[in-house]
A = this chain, B = another copy of it.
């Protein structure tokens, strides 16, 4: 089972059968509803031996008593003990099976899981799960999971934990992150994190991969897959089970060993992956890499408010980045058009009444400086200058270097953030989170 596999049947299926109960609230029903509401344009077949019909999101489906035609993928949410025989029965008609059902190795039923894998292999069927939350192929409008749907974008999220995945999707919506795909792989009886890493490395809709793992079974294979994926695009990793108590909890939670964190950390570094410390950082890193491939370490800060500019400066140095030393020519150029109260050293303080022109000219001037790799633009709009005006300056400034933005806060910057988002420029809510985004860009 080594080597790269094509998993298009899961993430870009043209036909899908769903097995389970279609009473509202039941897992199979909720998945059907999500698939329909998500706008899936392929063939969709609900299957339950009792037959009948079901309405989901305004569409009525006949429930087939058995699968009678080939489909790319089956989503299975029937009781665990009948899953292997079902897979055996439909094996000739399917290429992939997503087994949502729980009750396998995670509760000690290793034998049942082994049987499931055997039946699938017999027919050449690839498995996701069991005990998983399903998959999303966002650009193919396929939301094959009961989790909240997300907006299209560049992030492929691979999660060992279903609950983490569900929470992360909902949080991604809050953080305005766009997704290409999501997979919760549960017990990883067949396909595991390494397969998904390799697949998304080559998926053209995926710009950045985020991986939540507690432990991996085959370290050598994982390192190889991680190295391959990282060579193609940024891979963000959140590893759980780093502490002594955390590792113990992982063992009781998944039955897998968290392993020595030091070994994982070394592997992540060796492979060139971006390890983050916290859940929130997954999204900051993803946002940064949705916009830019990388950035150097020398940052210029442009702000209209001293305090937040200093906070950004502190964090930038703390994170091992540099506050760029502006070239004398840049300083002279800034002096030529900025009011005398402004600070023309880095951080460049445009003071509170900075308008469209002042921001735009400053960004363009600083961007030309060869000592500058990237720019952090901070805006705390005073009452007399709408945030939208400054957003336009950021959007219209001609600059080919990465520009990361921190507009603050909440209702004060609603319009500005909206305009930025429309142009694919993602806002970071604090100076420190923006600084951290630049750090990750510098790690590629």
A positions within 8 Å CB-CB of B: 25, 27, 30, 107, 146, 148, 159-164, 166-168, 170-171, 173-174, 212, 214, 238, 240-246, 248-250, 252-254, 277-280, 304-311, 313-318, 323, 341, 343, 345-347, 349, 352, 380, 382-384, 408-413, 429-433
User: What B residues does A429 contact at CB under 8 A?
Assistant: 171, 280
User: What B residues does A313 contact at CB under 8 A?
Assistant: 243, 245-246, 249
A254→B306 contact, CB < 8 A: yes
Chain B residue with Cβ nearest A305: B163
A308→B246 contact, CB < 8 A: no
A310→B250 contact, CB < 8 A: yes
For the A-B complex with A248-B345, A279-B308 known, give 17 more contacts whose Cβ atoms are closer than 8 Å. Answer: A27-B383, A148-B411, A161-B307, A164-B305, A167-B308, A168-B409, A171-B410, A173-B411, A240-B311, A241-B310, A243-B313, A243-B317, A244-B317, A245-B346, A249-B306, A253-B307, A279-B311
CA distance A212 to B409 in the complex (A): 16
Chain B residue with Cβ nearest A435: B278
CA distance A314 to B311 in the complex (A): 27
Contact of A163 among B166, B212, B245, B304 (CB under 8 A): B304
Describe A's contact surface by its main secondary structure: helix
From known contacts A171-B408, A306-B254, A412-B166, infer whether A249 and B383 are also in contact, taking CB-CB under 8 Å.
Answer: no
Q: What's the nearest-Cβ distance from chain B to residue A339, in Å?
A: 10
User: What B residues does A254 contact at CB under 8 A?
Assistant: 306
From known contacts A174-B409, A349-B253, infer whether A246 and B310 are also in contact, taking CB-CB under 8 Å.
Answer: yes
Contact of A280 among B168, B244, B430 (CB under 8 A): B430
B240→A173 contact, CB < 8 A: no
From known contacts A318-B243, A408-B170, A412-B148, infer whether A163 and B430 are also in contact, taking CB-CB under 8 Å.
Answer: no
25 contacts between A and B (CB under 8 A): A107-B341, A148-B412, A162-B305, A163-B352, A163-B382, A164-B307, A164-B311, A164-B380, A166-B382, A167-B380, A171-B410, A171-B430, A174-B409, A240-B311, A245-B314, A245-B317, A245-B323, A246-B310, A246-B313, A246-B314, A249-B343, A278-B315, A278-B430, A279-B431, A280-B430
Chain B residue with Cβ nearest A169: B409
Q: What's the nearest-Cβ distance from chain B to residue A130, in Å?
A: 14
Contact of A167 among B248, B252, B408 (CB under 8 A): B408
Chain B residue with Cβ nearest A408: B167
Q: What's the nearest-Cβ distance from chain B to residue A237, in Å?
A: 13
Chain B residue with Cβ nearest A311: B240
B305→A409 contact, CB < 8 A: no
CA distance A240 to B303 in the complex (A): 15
